[in-house]
Structure formats: C-alpha cells, structure tokens
Amino acid sequence: MAARLLRRALLRASRPLPSSSPVTSQSSLLFPLSEPSTSANSPPFSPLNFSCNSICCRRLSSLSEESHGPAAIDYRSTLQEDEYHMLANSTIHDLLEKLEEYGDSVEIDGYDVDYGNEVLTLKLGSLGTYVINKQTPNRQIWMSSPVSGPSRFDWDQNAQAWIYRRTKENLIQVLETELEKLCGQPISLS
C-alpha cells in the first residue's frame, strides 16, 4: 500500500502544475513537507504531505553525500597568483619571441604569430592553428593544438616547467616536437 502511494505521489510530482495551482513551485513537490497520514480521518493523499524523512528523500540525500570522482584541486594553494602571472607571462612572451624567429626560418604559407589579450595565436596556414593562453583561476596555461588537441599545463616546481598532468608532457617539448613534425624544421623553445 505504501509503495503504491509513493508511486502515485511521484507520478503527480512529475506532472506540470496547472497555472491555477496554489503551490508556488514544483520544488515543493519533489521534497514534500510531511509523512502521509494513515488514519481514517486524515485528508486524502497529497504529495505535499511527505517530509524529507520519506524513503525517496533519504535515498536522494544519501546519493548526494556520496563521492562522485576525485577531489577538486585548490590551485591557489599550489601557486600564488602573483607568482603564477610572472611564470605564465614569462613563458608566453618567450614563446612569442622564439615563434616569431622560427617563422623567419620556415617556408609556410600563412605562418603568423599574434599576441593580444593574453592569448598567443600561432597560425600555420593549412596546417592548423595553435592557441596558448593563461587560465588564471586554475593557475594553468591552456593550449589548443591542431595535432594533440586541448591541453592544460600546471607549473611543476620540481621540473621548473609547465606539465600536462594526464600525459606528464612538458609544454615546451610538446610544442617543439609538434612544430618540427608540422613544419619540417627543428625548433628550440627552451
């Protein structure tokens, strides 16, 4: 009997409210206010008669308490913001200079390096485009590559380099390897 009442309440809760309904929001249907009454003198069943002590509410709250994946990283604790800006700006400006020099030594139609609004863009014509930018909230440098796709590099104090956590690759080494493959000429970015 209780299961049938619960099913009926859930069905009613999933229906849209009529515009003349005295209930002000559908959220009150999902988390009703009190347990259903079982006495003979109680009013007819209503989904508004449930409380969060009902079975479905207890299950919902236990699900929300479970862990859903690894704990988030507080990037502010790994690298202070002023230190992050110094390291990221230095890296991006060094890349800008070296990529401009590299453009003089390769014969690629459409080769262009641009820097604006803290975004470094390297266009390689029909070979694709690299976009490298700072991601301050995460204390990362992000790179979009026509070869390897998107990557997020964190500063590794021990290696003194920007490292992609998934692959353990170094930003500078990734760029050197990919540009040599794409352009046919080695480049030293370090």
Sequence spans of domains, the chain: 2-65, 75-183
Written out in words, the top-level CATH class of the domain with range 75-183 is alpha beta
Report which listed range, 14-23, 38-47, 135-144, is most confident: 135-144
Cβ-based neighbours of 108, under 8 Å, separated by 6 or more: 124, 125, 127, 183
Tokens matching residue 142: 């992000």
Write the pLDDT tens digit of every residue in 35-82.
444 445 545 544 444 444 444 444 444 444 444 545 455 544 478 999
pLDDT of 88 reads: 97
Write the pLDDT tens digit of every residue in 89-131.
999 999 999 999 999 999 999 999 999 999 999 999 999 999 9
Please tell me which residue, 143 or 2, carries the higher pLDDT value.
143
Check: CB of residue 122 under 8 Å from CB of residue 130. yes
Q: Show the 3-state SS of 7-68.
A: HHHHHHHHCCCCCCCCCCCCHHHHCCCCCCCCCCCCCCCCHHHCCCCCHHHHHHHHHHHCCC
